[in-house]
A and B are shown apart, each in its own frame.
Chain A
Amino acid sequence: MNISTVVELLEARLICGDVNQEREFLYGFASDLMSDVLTLDSDNLILITGLTNTQVIRTAEMADIHCVVLVRGKKVSAEMINLAEENHITLIETPFSMFRTVSVLYEAGLKPVY
């Protein structure tokens, strides 16, 4: 699944990153617990979270996660955006709940990690 599909399915707004990038995402993981995210070994993973602080971006950076979806229209700080841009992480903001976001992406073929 590519970024433009994710944005379209989630009626989302791209905060930063290139909507036309070629990267294909295979897996999804939804959590507000960054400790849990740091235990994952999967590549090509989209992180879905309701947590909005700089540690979300730092976690994505360390775990080689290139796309983060922020649910329920949570607003991100300029610091988060700068950090995401510096590390080539695409940030997407959707008005959908975490439950709805997960179900839409799962239905469209994004696979669970466990």
Chain B
Amino acid sequence: MEFRYEVEGGNFSRAGHASSAVKKILKQLNVDNRIIKRIVVALYEGEVNVVAHAHKGNILVYIDEQKINIKIEDEGPGIPDIDLAMQAGYSTASAAVREMGFGAGMGLPNIKKNTDELKIASDVGKGTTLEMITYLQ
């Protein structure tokens, strides 16, 4: 199964829309609740990152019997130093993002914690792609 969602940079009232839709799909597929939580927490962190940092992005979701593969591609500033961005507490978030309850430098480490495989590729000035794989069993 494949699903695609668009994410608008800066639009916080819509942030979480894609994650919510994916959660409903996984529930319908009777995936274990604990696995659903890991998947949607990681996805939601990624979705909030696009809203917080990028101009726009796409979320591509592929589900088969074994796993869910989620690709989050954005057009935005990119990440100059991915190792630094993975460090807990490091953040470049704006005051507006912090007012929403995010921007504490916890997102990427939490995505890593909640996925079985994570790949991050980034081109400074162009954008970032996150690929997250989580096994459903």
Interface residues of A (CB under 8 A from B): 32-39, 51, 53-56, 58-59, 61-64, 79, 87
Among the listed B15, B20, B110, which residue makes an inter-chain contact with A35, where contact means beta carbons less than 8 Å apart? Answer: B110
Instruction: Tell me the number of A-to-B contacts counted with CB atoms below 8 Å.
Output: 67
B104 touches A63 (CB 8 A): no
Bits for B80-93, please: 1 = Cβ < 8 Å to A, else 0.
00000000000000
Interface centre among B12, B41, B106 (most CB of A within 10 A): B41
- B23 and A33 contact, CB distance less than 8 A: no
| Interface contact A55-B16, CB-CB below 8 Å | yes
Main secondary structure of the interface of A (DSSP, over half): helix
| Chain A proximity mask over B48-59: 1 for CB below 8 Å, otherwise 0 | 100000000000
B66 interfacial by beta-carbon distance below 8 Å: no
Whether A39 pairs with B110 at a CB distance below 8 angstroms is: yes
A53 touches B45 (CB 8 A): no
In the complex, which of the residues A32, A35, A54, A87 contacts B13, with contact meaning CB atoms closer than 8 Å?
Answer: A54
Chain B residues touching A, majority SS: helix
B41 and A33 contacting across the interface, CB-CB below 8 Å: no
B contacts, CB < 8 Å to A: 12-13, 15-16, 19-20, 23, 33, 37, 40-41, 43-45, 48, 100-104, 106-107, 110, 113
Q: Which residues of B contact A54 (CB under 8 A)?
A: 12-13, 15-16
A38 and B20 in contact (CB under 8 A), knowing A53-B12, A55-B101? no
B37 & A62 in contact (Cβ 8 Å cutoff): yes
Q: Are A35 and B19 in contact (CB under 8 A)?
A: no
In contact, B41 and A35 (Cβ under 8 angstroms)? no
The 7 closest A-B pairs by CB, nearest first: A58-B16, A34-B101, A35-B106, A62-B44, A62-B40, A35-B104, A55-B100
- The closest CB in chain B to the CB of A64 belongs to B37
Beyond A34-B100, A36-B104, whether A58 also contacts B44 by CB under 8 A is yes
Q: Which residue of B lies closest to A56 (CB)?
A: B101
- The residue among A33, A34, A63, A87 with the most chain B CB atoms within 10 A of its own CB is A34
Residues in chain A near residue B102, CB distance under 8 A: 33-35, 55
